[in-house]
């Protein structure tokens, strides 16, 4: 018998890559997604990659009765991996209530319905944004968290606080929060990847969209930061490496190996690269010149953010494998494939 796992947001960028890894590791997957920032065709592409079609339920998690109904037909779910959330930083600044309502009500509803059914294994998709502007680097899980700049980031911090309270009130729950650094790249098949709605907020899709001619030029937000070349440093991590970490976290839960019932892990490579290094590496990989210009800093950007991911290595037996070139090559392959 395969273990059945519920994946919310399973048609999205990180969700779809995780579904592939789950199927490859012999899990049965049920996806709930409202398709607000994803496409149903992803299900077919997952089937093409894995040979297995996951169960798909189109559902807005804010509708708790709909969620209850889905779970009625999936009584044997062993764990939930919760990706479903809005994630556009800029939009969240303009529409904070939309973000608090969607991201927090969805979380509360999925937790409520799972607790009702006695399903107490839960993995949460969190973000390094909860560290704000860190005082020390590399960032360990013991670094203090700060109020994130954006409402989007704050929903991640508030969600972790909700999960921590829940873990104290319900000792039988097993919760793992995974704090992602900067996920980029796409599956090697070129069949799934990142497809942002409208103008991308994030660096990698902006670069690849510029290179295919969808955008005129990349704006580099500031080159006067206290870093080696003046542009901010981030810890870019391949989305497939990230997906694999979810499978490891899930196995830890199902094997009852958690040291405490609420655990947090950083998911990064431990290497920091500047915006200019990313551009240079893209130019090398694509053999193209990228059109870019230096403009003013963007509100809320911090100079340096990179992980110490030793805890994940020790406890999850997981380590990121791809280097920057591989990540960028996969993102570029995806962008070219998706536009043809």
Return the structure tokens found at 108: 């509360």
Sequence-distant (6+) residues with CB within 8 A of 240 are: 17, 21, 185, 187, 188, 322, 330
**Which residue has tokens 């900067």?**
182
Q: Which is nearer to ligand WQD, 206 or 318 (CB)?
A: 206
The pattern of x and - marking residues 91 through 120 that bind ligand WQD according to CB under 6 A reads ------------------------------
How far is 126 from 330, CA to CA, in rounded Å? 23
How far is 167 from 160, CA to CA, in rounded Å? 10
Which of 203, 240, 245, 316 binds ligand WQD (CB under 6 A)? It is 203
134 binds ligand WQD (CB under 6 A): no
Taking only Cα atoms into account, the Rg of the chain, rounded to an integer number of angstroms, comes to: 19
Q: Which is nearer to ligand WQD, 234 or 252 (CB)?
A: 234
Which of 127, 177, 253, 286 binds ligand WQD (CB under 6 A)? It is 127
Q: Provide the 3-class DSSP secondary structure of residue 218.
A: strand
Q: Which of residues 6-65 bind ligand WQD (CB under 6 A)?
A: none
The one segment of 35-43, 163-171, 216-224, 259-267 that binds ligand WQD by CB under 6 A: 216-224
89 binds ligand WQD (CB under 6 A): yes
Question: At its nearest, how many Å lie between ligand WQD and the CB of residue 203?
Answer: 4
Residue 42 and residue 16 in contact, taking contact as beta carbons nearer than 8 Å: yes
Cβ-based neighbour number of residue 167 at 10 Å: 20
Q: Where are the alpha helices (DSSP H) in the chain?
A: 13-24, 41-50, 64-72, 89-94, 96-99, 105-116, 151-169, 203-211, 239-254, 275-286, 310-316, 324-338
Return the structure tokens found at 282: 């893209």
How far is 323 from 214, CA to CA, in rounded Å? 26
Which of 63, 301, 313, 323 binds ligand WQD (CB under 6 A)? It is 301
Q: Which of residues 137-156 bind ligand WQD (CB under 6 A)?
A: 153
Q: Provide the 3-class DSSP secondary structure of residue 230.
A: coil
Residue closest to 261 by CA, chosen among 127, 162, 106, 122: 122
Residue closest to 135 by CA, chosen among 300, 270, 304: 304
Q: Which is nearer to ligand WQD, 27 or 86 (CB)?
A: 86
Question: At its nearest, how many Å lie between ligand WQD and the CB of residue 130?
Answer: 9
Q: For ligand WQD, how many residues bind (rule: CB under 6 A)?
A: 19
Q: Which is nearer to ligand WQD, 67 or 305 (CB)?
A: 305
Q: Which is nearer to ligand WQD, 163 or 220 (CB)?
A: 220
The one segment of 56-64, 91-99, 212-220, 245-253 that binds ligand WQD by CB under 6 A: 212-220
Q: Which of residues 235-294 bind ligand WQD (CB under 6 A)?
A: 275
Which of 16, 120, 129, 143 binds ligand WQD (CB under 6 A)? It is 129
Question: At its nearest, how many Å lie between ligand WQD and the CB of residue 135?
Answer: 18
227 binds ligand WQD (CB under 6 A): no
Active site residues: 152
Residue 186 and residue 242 in contact, taking contact as beta carbons nearer than 8 Å: no
Q: Which is nearer to ligand WQD, 157 or 252 (CB)?
A: 157
How far is 6 from 123, CA to CA, in rounded Å? 10
201 binds ligand WQD (CB under 6 A): yes
Question: At its nearest, how many Å lie between ligand WQD and the CB of residue 338?
Answer: 18
159 binds ligand WQD (CB under 6 A): no
Binding-site ranges for ligand WQD (CB under 6 A): 87, 89, 127, 129, 153, 182, 201-203, 206, 218-221, 232, 234, 275, 298, 301
């Amino acid at each position: 018998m395969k273990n059945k796992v519920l994946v919310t947001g399973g048609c999205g960028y990180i969700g779809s890559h995780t579904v592939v890894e789950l199927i490859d590791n012999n899990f049965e997957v049920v996806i709930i997604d409202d398709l607000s920032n994803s496409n149903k065709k992803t299900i077919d592409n997952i089937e093409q990659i894995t040979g297995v079609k996951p169960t798909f339920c189109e559902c807005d998690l804010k509708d708790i009765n709909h969620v209850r109904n889905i779970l009625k037909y999936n009584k044997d779910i062993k764990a939930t991996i919760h990706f479903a959330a809005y994630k556009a930083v800029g939009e969240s600044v303009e529409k904070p209530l939309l973000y608090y309502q969607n991201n927090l009500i969805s979380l509360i509803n999925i937790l409520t319905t799972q607790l009702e059914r006695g399903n107490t294994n839960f993995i949460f998709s969190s973000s390094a944004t909860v560290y704000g502007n860190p005082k020390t680097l590399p960032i360990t899980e013991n670094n203090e968290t700060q109020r994130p700049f954006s409402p989007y980031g704050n929903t991640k911090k508030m969600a972790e606080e909700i999960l921590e309270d829940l873990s104290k009130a319900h000792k039988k729950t097993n919760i793992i929060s995974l704090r992602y650094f900067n996920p980029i790249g796409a599956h090697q098949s070129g069949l799934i990847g990142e497809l942002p709605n409208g103008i991308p907020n994030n660096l990698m899709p902006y670069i690849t969209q510029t290179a295919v001619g969808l955008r005129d030029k990349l704006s580099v937000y500031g080159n006067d930061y206290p870093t080696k070349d003046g542009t901010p440093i981030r810890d870019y991590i391949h989305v497939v490496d990230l997906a694999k970490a979810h499978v490891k976290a899930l196995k830890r839960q199902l094997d009852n190996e958690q040291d405490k019932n609420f655990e947090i892990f950083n998911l990064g490579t431990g290497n920091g690269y500047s915006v200019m290094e990313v551009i240079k590496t893209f130019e090398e990989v694509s053999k193209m010149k990228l059109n870019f210009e230096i403009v003013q800093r963007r509100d809320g950007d911090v100079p340096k953010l990179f992980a110490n991911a030793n805890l994940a290595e020790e406890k999850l037996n997981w380590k990121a494998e791809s280097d920057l070139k591989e990540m960028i090559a996969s993102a570029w392959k995806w962008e070219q494939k998706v536009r043809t």
